[in-house]
Amino acid sequence: MLLSNSKFYYSAFYFSTKPINAVSSNLAMITMDYALALTDAVRFTRDTVWGRCGRWIYLAISTIIFPFMMGYTMEIFRGNPVPPECNNWLRRFIDGIKYLIASFIYAIPVILVLILSMIPIIMEFMNQISNESVDFSLSAFVPYIIPCIAGIIVAFILAIIIAIISIIGIIRMARTNRFIEAFNFRAILNTIRTIGWKVYIIGLVNVWLISFIIGFLLDTLVAVDLTNFFVALFIWPLIIIFESRYLTLLYESSGE
């Protein structure tokens, strides 16, 4: 099992049965199980909302006004083992906008590939609807289907590669408070090499798989009954916090 057998190294954090704020910043590199880091992320998420209804409501609303949620995520990325307070709304919003802009810039190559792969189909569609003397023909789109599918596959692979790099970039931006650090590719690749490519990618797969499964279940509940949206609204921020804390620990395994 990936969660129980794989290990990674990280410093500046120790977690066993202690509260999440029991941190020793002077510890040497310690071998940790992925499952232990996941447990930490669960406890961090619990401590963020347990007994704090006001904070939970704020976070639920922030998933709709998403720059605030993205700003809260940036605060988690800064590595404080204590869950951030929901204060300083202006700073949260500005941080969220920075996160949003950086994410959009990273997404540009994927968007361009998708647009380029769809252009032939779009042009054929526009040609047919503008030519009233010609009956609409689906067969005319057949030659463009394979190139379009190929483009989508390329975009998907490119999105994964960009995600692997951008996660470290966004965390660097949060910790240095410098927007340009989100695109400091030399430093980003050095951080990943320090963590270890295999260790890093397995760590990402772990948390992405968990988030996908929970997110899929929530979306299914909402699709079955729209009233479940209000339940999902309070669970979505928990998924985001859990993933953000885990990614922070994974980043800290580089010793930075």
Alpha helices in the chain (DSSP H): 2-5, 34-49, 53-62, 66-77, 89-130, 142-176, 185-195, 197-224, 229-252
The conformation of residue 33, written as its DSSP 8-state character, comes to E
Residue type at 113?
V
| Residue-range domain boundaries for the chain | 2-252
Amino acid letter for position 126:
M
pTM (whole model) above 0.85: no
Q: Is the predicted pLDDT of residue 75 greater than 60, yes or no?
A: yes
pLDDT digits (tens, 9 = 90+) for 149-177: 999 999 999 999 999 999 999 999 999 99
Q: Which residue has the higher pLDDT, 67 or 139?
A: 67
pLDDT at 136: 64
Of 28-42, 108-122, 205-219, the one with minimum mean pLDDT is 28-42
Q: What is the mean pLDDT of residues 5-27?
A: 38
Look-up: residue for tokens 């410093």?
11
Per cent of the chain over pLDDT 90 is: 59
3-state secondary structure of 205: helix
Q: Which residues contact 159 (CB under 8 A, 6 or more apart)?
A: 107, 110
Structure tokens at 110: 């994927």
